[in-house]
Amino acid sequence: MQAAADLMYVKGVNATTLDDVRAVSGTSKSQLYQHFADKDALVRAVVALQAHRVLDREQQQLERLSTLSGLHRWRNVLVQLNSLKNGAYGCVLGSMANELAGQDEEARSVLAATFATWEGLIADGLRRMLDKGSLKPDADPDELAIGLMAALQGGYLLAQTAGNVRPMEVALDMALDQIKCHLTV
């Protein structure tokens, strides 16, 4: 699974073959087919694995979010993680969504649910800010979370294309500036 996940992240889902996975993982055809009926089954397992990993990381980062400085710390962690690869591969979920959304309904559904959960974690943090009076009463945590997620995913894509994390930093900073406009202080 790890070999398949790594290959699909670096090469892409469609460019990764079962022979590639077998070669990198050192497994035989019979071993691979013992666990996965076909490439689609392997892809769906990788989607589930990556979704779990991302949500695990994001929950740790966002579960106590309740301040703008907390959002900046979250932003810095994501930028730093992406800078380790010079923005080379983008978001593991966004990259898979780009390839799979139009060809595998089951994978698309899992990815959509994962993005919704991730947005929900952000919105929950923004709701905590609203509840403690840090955000103006007319601030919509759900809408702000969608905007922040869109900036994040667009930033990942532009960083991937540029081979540099700067576009990601700019996109996230602009989204955070929008949230800052809703602060009460």
Q: What is the dihedral of CA 135, 140, 143, 144, to 10 degrees?
A: 0
CATH number, domain of 52, equals 1.10.357.10
Asked, for residue 132, whether it belongs to a domain, the answer is yes
Asked, for residue 7, whether it belongs to a domain, the answer is no
Instruction: Quote the pLDDT of residue 85.
Output: 78
Say which residue the tokens 């898979």 belong to: 96
Asked, for residue 82, whether it belongs to a domain, the answer is yes
Instruction: Quote the pLDDT of residue 134.
Output: 97
Asked, for residue 23, whether it belongs to a domain, the answer is no
Band (87; pLDDT cuts 50, 70, 90)? low
Instruction: Quote the pLDDT of residue 153.
Output: 97
One DSSP character per residue, 1-25 reads -HHHHHHHHHH-TTT--HHHHHHHH
Asked, for residue 72, whether it belongs to a domain, the answer is yes
Band (185; pLDDT cuts 50, 70, 90)? confident
Asked, for residue 25, whether it belongs to a domain, the answer is no
Average pLDDT, the chain: 94
Asked, for residue 27, whether it belongs to a domain, the answer is no
Higher pLDDT, 88 or 80: 80
- Above 70 in pLDDT, residue 52? yes
By CB atoms closer than 10 A (0-12, 13-18, 19+), residue 98 is middle
Task: Give residue 65's domain range.
Answer: 48-180
Instruction: Quote the pLDDT of residue 3.
Output: 93
CB 55 within 8 Å of CB 117 = yes
Instruction: Quote the pLDDT of residue 129.
Output: 97
CB 25 within 8 Å of CB 1 = no
Token pair in block for residue 24: 């990198």
What are the start-end ranges of the H helices in the chain?
Answer: 2-11, 18-25, 29-35, 39-62, 68-83, 92-100, 105-131, 141-162, 166-180
Instruction: Quote the pLDDT of residue 88.
Output: 73
Average pLDDT, integer, range 28-47: 93
Instruction: Quote the pLDDT of residue 15.
Output: 94
Domain count along the chain:
1
Average pLDDT, integer, range 43-51: 96
Question: Considering the chain, what percentage of its residues have pLDDT values greater than 70?
Answer: 98
Q: How far, in Å, CA of 26 to CA of 96, rounded? A: 24
